[in-house]
Structure 1
């Protein structure tokens, strides 16, 4: 329970930080707003064509007696739209981060500066950072698919599909949403995507405490836009303590942003994370997109 509470505190601290620094709040809204328009159009199209997709996917039910074809296709339609909505929640963040890479990178750096400074990041052109972000996001989405595809199938199981599966779906989405949001600060530390996922797996409760409330909030489209700047700020605060090995339920989430926001004085953090020395160098020499 301590890690869950810590994750939620980081989320609250990030929202307070951007509210105390209104210019950065507005700065981070534009990429999320553009992404919202794109996803609104995609979900509208899915809703319009969902019935036809259900009929196409279940031709074997054409000869069934009423009301079974309608019940099967109605369930399929509901699950298809729910899966699309949950997928949109996760990919919304990935696309918004890609669209707003310079915006969110600047916001994350400002948060670190207000907390006592952080790593300057690798010296490489913007196009390369965008390419790495895209490839890392695809890696995360493929990992997520390993869980969401079986959950989609299990959604057809009576009772389990209406109780356990939705709860598991929110947990999976929350974990990978945290992975996407922390990528801004962890990429600046040149931590490879596999190492990022390993770090979060070791602190699953922390990742879920941060990500699951956001998944629930992001189900409301306008809320997703309004919370996005604070989510990036909160993820940066989480990374600072997680990378320093100090994100715990007893005090890891009680840094300066929670008390003084962007106006707080320097907050003491160890300058570098405890992952093995040479990890960043190894990432550059292993076959990964760059």
Structure 2
């Protein structure tokens, strides 16, 4: 439960981050807007061509009565459009991340800079980053599609299909959405997709707490556009939790200068060595009886004289 709440917290923190940095919020919305316009145009043409596509796919119904012919082809056209709409919902995030790879790379870098401990991304050309992102997104869609088929089949089971399966569907979608959104930040940290899966499976509550609310919000296309920058920022914060960047110890001042001398080879600081006075500058201490000369004050400076009376003075 703690990880579940933490995942929701990262989602809220990401939205707060872009709210404080309005320029980056507008910057991060551009890929989502471009993708939304592209999908809207594609769905518009799909809606216009679905009837022709249904007619082309059912030549055997030409001899049917108009009632049954129209019913079949109208139903098929509606299924084609609904299928396209469902596919657009499932692929919108992946395509947005692919289109916005350079945008979200900059956004992730800015989040890392403001939070401290920014990683050093691997030196990879942009075209290679796009290829890797497309490959990873395709693998995520394949995995999600496999779970979707299993859940679709389980949906025909009485009671379970109407209660458990929808909950599992949102959980699976939330997990893979978190995997997609954290891919930009984790790719900057050099983490391959297999390792990303392992990390998120190990913190399943964190992934679900972050992804499931987004899945519910992304059901509305405009919410997807508005919330995408904050989702990427929040995913970056979550990635920092999964793969923290350790900062190396700061180098000491002057430690690597002049050819990288070892500690023992550095010259000692002159201020640390006491200065010894020269012997020519030494003076006797005040009050010294020998201050004026070696014999000054010496009682034996003159020739000794015998003390009176002396019995041997005459001798």
* 2:225 paired with 1:225: yes
CA–CA distance in structure 1, aligned partners of residues 44 and 166 of structure 2 = 22
CA–CA distance in structure 1, aligned partners of residues 150 and 168 of structure 2 = 11
TM-score (normalised: structure 2): 0.66
CA–CA distance in structure 2, aligned partners of residues 94 and 14 of structure 1 = 19
CA–CA distance in structure 2, aligned partners of residues 100 and 178 of structure 1 = 16
* Alignment partner, residue 95 of structure 2: 95
Pairwise CA distance, 1:150: 1.7
Contact between 1:173 and 1:212, CA under 8 Å: does it hold in 2?
yes
* Larger Rg computed on CA atoms: 2
* Alignment partner, residue 270 of structure 1: 246
SS in 2 for 1:187: helix
Pairwise CA distance, 1:92: 1.2
* Alignment partner, residue 260 of structure 1: none
CA–CA distance in structure 1, aligned partners of residues 113 and 90 of structure 2 = 28
* 2:188 paired with 1:212: no
Pairwise CA distance, 1:139: 1.1
Pairwise CA distance, 1:18: 0.4
* Alignment partner, residue 142 of structure 2: 142
* Alignment partner, residue 260 of structure 2: none
CA–CA distance in structure 2, aligned partners of residues 172 and 104 of structure 1 = 24
Contact between 1:35 and 1:95, CA under 8 Å: does it hold in 2?
yes
* Alignment partner, residue 170 of structure 1: 170
* Alignment partner, residue 114 of structure 2: 114
CA–CA distance in structure 1, aligned partners of residues 222 and 155 of structure 2 = 28
* Alignment partner, residue 196 of structure 1: 196
Pairwise CA distance, 1:145: 1.4
Contact between 1:10 and 1:235, CA under 8 Å: does it hold in 2?
yes
Does the C-alpha gap of structure 1 residues 7 and 41 become closer, same or farther in structure 2, counting only changes over 3 Å?
same
* Alignment partner, residue 11 of structure 1: 11
Question: What are the superposed Cα offsets for residues 169-205 of structure 1, whole Å, 9 maximum, x if unpaired?
Answer: 1111110000000000100011111110111011111
Contact between 1:79 and 1:155, CA under 8 Å: does it hold in 2?
no
* Alignment partner, residue 243 of structure 2: 243
CA–CA distance in structure 2, aligned partners of residues 33 and 102 of structure 1 = 15
Unaligned ranges ≥5, structure 1: 60-69, 245-268, 273-290
> Comparing 112-121 with 175-184, which one deviates more in the overlay?
112-121
Once the two structures are superposed, the pairs formed by residues 32-181 of structure 1 within 5 Å of their partners are 32-43=32-43, 81=82, 87-181=87-181
Does the C-alpha gap of structure 1 residues 215 and 145 become closer, same or farther in structure 2, counting only changes over 3 Å?
same
SS in 1 for 2:116: coil
Question: What are the superposed Cα offsets for residues 80-130 of structure 1, whole Å, 9 maximum, x if unpaired?
Answer: 93x765543342111111111111000000000000132121102111111
Pairwise CA distance, 1:28: 0.5
Judging by fraction of residues, say which structure has more helix: 1
TM-score (normalised: structure 1): 0.72
CA–CA distance in structure 1, aligned partners of residues 86 and 3 of structure 2 = 24
Larger relative contact order (CA 8 Å, sep ≥ 6): 1
Does the C-alpha gap of structure 1 residues 271 and 199 become closer, same or farther in structure 2, counting only changes over 3 Å?
farther
Does the C-alpha gap of structure 1 residues 86 and 42 become closer, same or farther in structure 2, counting only changes over 3 Å?
same
* Alignment partner, residue 258 of structure 1: none
Contact between 1:86 and 1:173, CA under 8 Å: does it hold in 2?
no
CA–CA distance in structure 2, aligned partners of residues 110 and 97 of structure 1 = 17
SS in 2 for 1:177: helix
Pairwise CA distance, 1:40: 2.8
Pairwise CA distance, 1:45: 5.8
* Alignment partner, residue 281 of structure 1: none
